Amino acid sequence: MTATQTHCPYCALQCGMTLTPEIPRVRLEPADFPVNRGGLCAKGFTAADLLDHPDRLLTPLVRKEPGNRESPLREASWEEAYERIVTAIRDSQARYGNDSVGAFGGGGLTNEKAYALGKFVRVALRSSAIDYNGRFCMSSAATAANRALGIDRGLPFPLADLAQARTVLLVGANPADAMPPSMQYLDAGRAAGAKHIVVDPRRTNTANGAYLHLQPLPGTDLALANGLLHIAIRENLVDLGFVGARTEGFAAVQKAANSYWPERVERMTGVPEAQLRETVRLLATEGPSMILTARGAEQHSNGTDTAQAWLNLALALGLVGRPFSGYGTITGQGNGQGGREHGQKADQLPGYRRLDDPAARAHVAAVWGVDPGELPQPGRSAYEMISGIQEEGGVRVLLVLASNLVVSAPHSNHVVDKLRALDFLVVSDIFRSETAELADVVLPTAQWAEEEGTMTNLEGRVIRRKRALPPPPMVKTDLTFLTELAGRLGRGEFFTDEPRAVFEELRRASAGGVADYAGISYERIEASNGVFWPCPSEDHPGTPRLFADGFPTASGRARFIRVEHRDPAEVPDRSFPYVLTTGRNMQQYQSGNQTRRVKALTVALPEARAEIHPDLARRHGIADGDLVVLRSRRGVATLRARLSDGIRPDTVFAPFHWPGANALTDPALDPHSKMPAFKVCAVAIARAGAP
Ligand code: SF4
């Protein structure tokens, strides 16, 4: 049996692993790939359990009575499934226009599939209605990085640089649970004397090992960052040489920072002044230093401005573009980076080009062989698209790929109502997810070990996903599904389901764009453990580290952008007196559609646990292990309590891997990124059954 080296199907670390087909199962072993160096987490080790899982979808499913979603799903041929989908698309577009049919993609799709999906919607459906679940994940940090640095690449340096940094500030990031193999770099740095500072309302496993743990009230991170900048200015810790030579706009930011004096910031955030001062002194004087943000800082109704505030601090301290130093954001989904570069975003074309840029439209249209005028204009962002279902100009037929919206979208009761209101819903997945249960047609798609393609990990390293075994007979990859569907819509000549051919086209489409893949080939990836974009030509070495010589902005300088604290869209009051914040557990991934089916993972953590401080629990007569009812203005969730003195007494934590947490969350959108406010909403709590 031949061993195939590929990568984990889950998170953005994209750990290398070797798959060897054996009878009766595939043998999965960690590989010595640069990011994981022989390590895997429990999710990665058990990933092959899903390949022959009894829940696996093996044929298309359609409703027994067409048009009646109360009737059961039954097995069908692909031909019957296509017939129903094509009829629904044609009817809808004839009655309501092209934009009445849309697609919702995912950050788990390969680059080839993300690219093909964006092209399918614009060229085969001629619709503007497309967005993806990365809008819920990376959009705030991406928007902030584009504004400040002119480019959005999660980590602008290799992960291994973390081991060389002497001070690392992690804001709303918990890699010890979310991507354990990455901790080897932080652990190596700490063993060599580095100091790590964690900003998190919970004492996570990452915070447990840190030198300092700052525990702000959720929703006050921007004030915290501006407060650190205030201290840096007052204590002459700003790198004025760097600021003068390589940046612009500092004066306005400096002015804004004036009003974030330490006593005020301590009152706003709950972080003691002494910790504020120690943090900024360490960052400024014990370098090289890094500031890394993740979803805890970004998933807010002011998420873009919050990421911007951390970027402002990194620029003021002169961290960016220096060795083993800088600002980065830790991407979460497997292809969260590549998934946001190749055109499945509402406003974007491949190469991270803007859909409203005439030059970008002309370039991509030429590669696609269509007239630029045929390309639709930007559509609605993810939550706006779902919320606009059945409204004027909204979507009525939706194709969902690699997403389980019912569990992962905010205000999930509203999302369910909207999905039910669709004229027709198609879901492509490997299991009958909660979203698939609402569909008219469910399509069985190939898994990671059954397909070829590329992924781009959290460092911007483009890697190969390789096929170790064929998919089951009736299962197709999404590339095949999109190609065959395009053919039935009369646009087949624009599509191919050959991954290498799609990648070659993607290279041409991205050439000259910000995310330039023109010089990356399957062979180069194979030969060098991945290639870092931008890589504009075949003789270009790729770009592991950005910003050493300049910034891809109009002036070549990084931009400071003045940002001010605003209260979260929803704050606690007498009816809903606590803050709910959501996040991850080590054993689960995203909506749990896959990992909730893995026995070893569910044995380790069988259900969602609401983390509650003992003081808060006492006030409500709650004991460890009790069922508690959480209520927000939008919904109710019942979870088992886990008491922990590591969480703030005014805050409750709930993981989002199970249905429940997102029944509570607030869909208030960040005005710049359209990111929902997953990390703060107001809730009430009671012991289940309490009067
Ligand atoms: Fe997979 Fe991420 Fe775990 Fe690595 S850290 S094994 S990529 S889930």
- Same domain assignment for residues 348 and 446: yes
Residue 508 lies in a domain: no
Task: Please work out whether the CB of residue 36 comes within 6 Å of at least one atom of ligand 1.
Answer: yes
Query: How many angstroms separate the alpha carbon of residue 174 from the centre of ligand 1?
Result: 14
Q: What is the C-alpha separation between 688 and 610, in angstroms, rounded?
A: 13
Query: How many angstroms separate the alpha carbon of residue 135 from the centre of ligand 1?
Result: 21
Query: How many angstroms separate the alpha carbon of residue 633 from the centre of ligand 1?
Result: 35
Interacting residues of 256 by C-beta distance below 8 A, sequence separation 6+: 226, 562, 563, 564
Residue 522 lies in a domain: no
How many domains does the structure of the chain reveal? 4
The amino acid present at 173, given as its one-letter code, is: A
Contact 309, 226 (CB under 8 A): yes
- Same domain assignment for residues 436 and 481: yes
| pTM exceeds 0.95 for this model | yes
Q: What is the C-alpha separation between 680 and 572, in angstroms, rounded?
A: 10
Query: How many angstroms separate the alpha carbon of residue 444 from the centre of ligand 1?
Result: 24
> Nearest residue CA, atom 6 of ligand 1?
44
Q: What is the C-alpha separation between 237 and 230, in angstroms, rounded?
A: 10
Interacting residues of 493 by C-beta distance below 8 A, sequence separation 6+: none
Strand, coil or helix: what is 11? coil
- Same domain assignment for residues 203 and 79: no
- Same domain assignment for residues 386 and 279: no
Q: What is the C-alpha separation between 19 and 512, in angstroms, rounded?
A: 36
Site to probe by mutation for ligand 1, drawn from 33, 179, 595 as the one with most ligand atoms within 8 Å of Cβ, is: 179
Query: How many angstroms separate the alpha carbon of residue 680 from the centre of ligand 1?
Result: 27
Task: Please work out whether the CB of residue 166 comes within 6 Å of at least one atom of ligand 1.
Answer: no
Nearest 5°: phi and psi at 417? -60, -40
- Same domain assignment for residues 210 and 357: no
Regions of the chain where pLDDT drops below 70 = 1
How do residues 648-681 score in pLDDT, each as one tens digit?
999 999 999 999 999 999 999 999 999 999 999 9
Residue 521 lies in a domain: no
Query: How many angstroms separate the alpha carbon of residue 334 from the centre of ligand 1?
Result: 9
Q: What is the C-alpha separation between 278 and 71, in angstroms, rounded?
A: 62
Query: How many angstroms separate the alpha carbon of residue 39 from the centre of ligand 1?
Result: 9
Query: How many angstroms separate the alpha carbon of residue 15 from the centre of ligand 1?
Result: 6
Task: Please work out whether the CB of residue 184 comes within 6 Å of at least one atom of ligand 1.
Answer: no
Nearest of 182, 183, 321 to residue 241 by alpha carbon: 321
Strand partners, 528: none
- Same domain assignment for residues 312 and 233: yes
Task: Please work out whether the CB of residue 232 comes within 6 Å of at least one atom of ligand 1.
Answer: no
Residues 256, 258, 264: CA angle, nearest 5 degrees = 110
The minimum-distance atom of ligand 1 relative to the CA of 7 is 7
Residue 641 lies in a domain: yes
The minimum-distance atom of ligand 1 relative to the CA of 45 is 6
Residue 496 lies in a domain: yes
Last residue of a domain, one of 472, 502, 532: 502
- Same domain assignment for residues 156 and 274: yes
Query: How many angstroms separate the alpha carbon of residue 658 from the centre of ligand 1?
Result: 19
Task: Please work out whether the CB of residue 46 comes within 6 Å of at least one atom of ligand 1.
Answer: no
Task: Please work out whether the CB of residue 586 comes within 6 Å of at least one atom of ligand 1.
Answer: no
Task: Please work out whether the CB of residue 424 comes within 6 Å of at least one atom of ligand 1.
Answer: no
Where residue 45 sits, what CATH number does that domain have?
2.20.25.90
Residue 516 lies in a domain: no
How do residues 361-407 score in pLDDT, each as one tens digit?
999 999 999 999 999 999 999 999 999 999 999 999 999 999 999 99
Query: What letter does residue 137 receive in the DSSP assignment?
Result: T
- Same domain assignment for residues 320 and 353: no
| Number of H-type helices and E-type strands within the chain | 24, 30
Residue 249 lies in a domain: yes
Strand order through the sheet with 461-465: 453-456, 461-465, 531-532
Query: How many angstroms separate the alpha carbon of residue 43 from the centre of ligand 1?
Result: 6
The minimum-distance atom of ligand 1 relative to the CA of 179 is 5
Site to probe by mutation for ligand 1, drawn from 8, 14, 186, 594 as the one with most ligand atoms within 8 Å of Cβ, is: 8
Task: Please work out whether the CB of residue 40 comes within 6 Å of at least one atom of ligand 1.
Answer: yes
Task: Please work out whether the CB of residue 44 comes within 6 Å of at least one atom of ligand 1.
Answer: yes
ipTM score: 0.99
- Same domain assignment for residues 383 and 486: yes
Last residue of a domain, one of 502, 526, 546: 502
Where residue 584 sits, what CATH number does that domain have?
2.40.40.20
The minimum-distance atom of ligand 1 relative to the CA of 44 is 6
Where residue 298 sits, what CATH number does that domain have?
3.40.228.10
Task: Please work out whether the CB of residue 41 comes within 6 Å of at least one atom of ligand 1.
Answer: yes
How do residues 169-182 score in pLDDT, each as one tens digit?
999 999 999 999 99
Strand (E) or helix (H) holding 249: none
As a residue count, the chain comes to 691
Query: What letter does residue 228 receive in the DSSP assignment?
Result: H
Residue ranges making up the domain that contains 282: 139-329
Task: Please work out whether the CB of residue 579 comes within 6 Å of at least one atom of ligand 1.
Answer: no
- Same domain assignment for residues 21 and 114: no
Query: How many angstroms separate the alpha carbon of residue 41 from the centre of ligand 1?
Result: 5
- Same domain assignment for residues 210 and 183: yes
> Nearest residue CA, atom 1 of ligand 1?
44
Rounded-to-10 torsion of CA 166, 167, 172, 177: 30
- Relative to beta strand 558-559, strand 247-248 is parallel
Last residue of a domain, one of 502, 534, 559: 502
Query: How many angstroms separate the alpha carbon of residue 262 from the centre of ligand 1?
Result: 39
- Same domain assignment for residues 114 and 165: no
Residue 202 lies in a domain: yes
Task: Please work out whether the CB of residue 175 comes within 6 Å of at least one atom of ligand 1.
Answer: no
How do residues 286-336 score in pLDDT, each as one tens digit?
999 999 999 999 999 999 999 999 999 999 999 999 999 999 999 999 999
Task: Please work out whether the CB of residue 13 comes within 6 Å of at least one atom of ligand 1.
Answer: yes
Contact 320, 326 (CB under 8 A): yes
Nearest of 410, 390, 168 to residue 292 by alpha carbon: 168
